[in-house]
Structure 1
Amino acid sequence: MQAVVLEEFQEPLEVQDMERPESESHGAVAKVNGCGVCRSDWHCWQGDWDWFNYRPDPPQILGHEPCGTIISVGEDVENVSEGDNVAIPFNFACGKCSLCRNGHENICENHVGLGFMDEAPGAFAEEVHIPHADINAVPLPDEITPDTASGIGCRFMTSYHAMAHRADVGNGETVAIHGLGGIGLSAVHIANALGANVIGVDLMDEKLRKAEELGATATVNASEVDDPAVEIQDMTNGGADVSADALGIATTCQNAVNSLGKNGRHVQIGLTTSEEEGMISLPTDAFVAKEIDFYGSLGLQPSRYPEMLEMIRTGKIDPTKLVDKTIDIHQVPDELASMTDYNTMGIPVCNDFTS
Structure 2
Amino acid sequence: MRAAVFTDYGEPLEVREVEDPEPEPHGAVVAVEACGVCRSDWHAWQGDWDWRGLDPVPGHILGHEPAGRVVAIGEEVESVSEGDHVTVPFNLGDGQCRLCQTGHSNICENRQALGLQPEAPGAFAEQLPVPHADHNLVHLPEGVSSVEMAGLGCRFMTAFHGLAHRADLGAGDWVAIHGCGGVGLSAIHVASALGANPIGVDLTDDKLELAEELGAEATVNASDVDDPAEAVLDLTDGGAHVSMDALGIETTARNAVRSLGKTGQHVQVGLTTEEAGGNLSLPTDEMVTSEIDFLGALGMPPERYDEIFRMVAAGKLDPAAVVSETIALEDVSEKLDAMTDYGTVGIPVVDEF
Q: What is the distance in 1 between the residues matched to 2:298 and 2:258?
A: 22
- 5 Å matches for 1:283-322? 283-322=283-322
Q: CA offsets per residue over residues 109-150 of structure 1, 9 Å max, x none?
A: 000000111111000000000100001000111132223212
Instruction: Report the 3-state secondary structure (helix = DSSP H, G, I; strand = E; otherwise coil) of the residue aligned with 1:15.
Output: strand
The residue that corresponds to 2:154 in the other structure is 154
Q: Structure 2 unaligned runs (5+)?
A: none
Pick which of 232-241 and 98-107 moved more. Answer: 232-241
Q: What is the distance in 1 between the residues matched to 2:177 and 2:151?
A: 20
Q: What is the distance in 2 between the residues matched to 1:20 and 1:169?
A: 45
- Count of paired positions: 353
Q: Structure 1 unaligned runs (5+)?
A: none
The residue that corresponds to 1:240 in the other structure is 240
Q: What is the distance in 2 between the residues matched to 1:300 and 1:149?
A: 15
- 5 Å matches for 1:204-283? 204-283=204-283
- Letter matched to residue 186 of structure 2: S
Q: Is it true that 1:203 corresponds to 2:185 in the alignment?
A: no
Q: Is 2:329–2:350's contact at 8 Å kept on the other side of the alignment?
A: yes
Q: What is the distance in 1 between the residues matched to 2:133 and 2:102?
A: 18
Q: What is the distance in 1 between the residues matched to 2:74 and 2:125?
A: 20
The residue that corresponds to 2:20 in the other structure is 20
Q: CA offsets per residue over residues 225-270 of structure 1, 9 Å max, x none?
A: 1111111112212110000000111100000001100000000011
Q: Is 2:64–2:123's contact at 8 Å kept on the other side of the alignment?
A: yes
Pick which of 293-302 and 164-173 moved more. Answer: 164-173
Instruction: Report the 3-state secondary structure (helix = DSSP H, G, I; strand = E; otherwise coil) of the residue aligned with 1:344.
Output: coil
The residue that corresponds to 1:326 in the other structure is 326
Q: What is the distance in 1 between the residues matched to 2:344 and 2:6?
A: 21
The residue that corresponds to 1:192 in the other structure is 192
Deviation of the 1:170 alpha carbon: 1.6
Instruction: Report the 3-state secondary structure (helix = DSSP H, G, I; strand = E; otherwise coil) of the residue aligned with 2:200.
Output: strand
Deviation of the 1:168 alpha carbon: 3.2
Instruction: Report the 3-state secondary structure (helix = DSSP H, G, I; strand = E; otherwise coil) of the residue aligned with 1:150.
Output: helix
Q: What is the distance in 2 between the residues matched to 1:193 and 1:209?
A: 18
Q: What is the distance in 1 between the residues matched to 2:231 and 2:338?
A: 30
Q: What is the distance in 2 between the residues matched to 1:253 and 1:147?
A: 31
Q: What is the distance in 2 between the residues matched to 1:38 and 1:300?
A: 16
Q: What is the distance in 1 between the residues matched to 2:189 and 2:34?
A: 21
The residue that corresponds to 1:170 in the other structure is 170
Instruction: Report the 3-state secondary structure (helix = DSSP H, G, I; strand = E; otherwise coil) of the residue aligned with 2:273.
Output: coil
Pick which of 13-22 and 52-61 moved more. Answer: 52-61
The residue that corresponds to 2:11 in the other structure is 11
Instruction: Report the 3-state secondary structure (helix = DSSP H, G, I; strand = E; otherwise coil) of the residue aligned with 1:190.
Output: helix
Q: Is 2:248–2:271's contact at 8 Å kept on the other side of the alignment?
A: yes
Q: CA offsets per residue over residues 89-108 of structure 1, 9 Å max, x none?
A: 11000000000000000000
Q: Is 1:8–1:59's contact at 8 Å kept on the other side of the alignment?
A: no
Q: Is 2:93–2:106's contact at 8 Å kept on the other side of the alignment?
A: yes
Q: What is the distance in 2 between the residues matched to 1:211 and 1:149?
A: 19
The residue that corresponds to 1:43 in the other structure is 43
Q: Is 1:51–1:278's contact at 8 Å kept on the other side of the alignment?
A: no
Please give the TM-score of this superposition, normalised by the length of structure 2.
Answer: 0.98
Q: What is the distance in 1 between the residues matched to 2:303 and 2:18?
A: 32
- Letter matched to residue 157 of structure 1: M
Instruction: Report the 3-state secondary structure (helix = DSSP H, G, I; strand = E; otherwise coil) of the residue aligned with 1:333.
Output: helix
The residue that corresponds to 1:34 in the other structure is 34
Q: What is the distance in 2 between the residues matched to 1:346 and 1:269?
A: 16
- 5 Å matches for 1:117-136? 117-136=117-136
Deviation of the 1:12 alpha carbon: 2.0
The residue that corresponds to 2:110 in the other structure is 110
- Letter matched to residue 352 of structure 2: D
Instruction: Report the 3-state secondary structure (helix = DSSP H, G, I; strand = E; otherwise coil) of the residue aligned with 2:151.
Output: coil
The residue that corresponds to 2:82 in the other structure is 82
Q: Is 1:144–1:313's contact at 8 Å kept on the other side of the alignment?
A: no
Q: What is the distance in 2 between the residues matched to 1:337 and 1:288?
A: 40
Q: Is 1:65–1:154's contact at 8 Å kept on the other side of the alignment?
A: yes
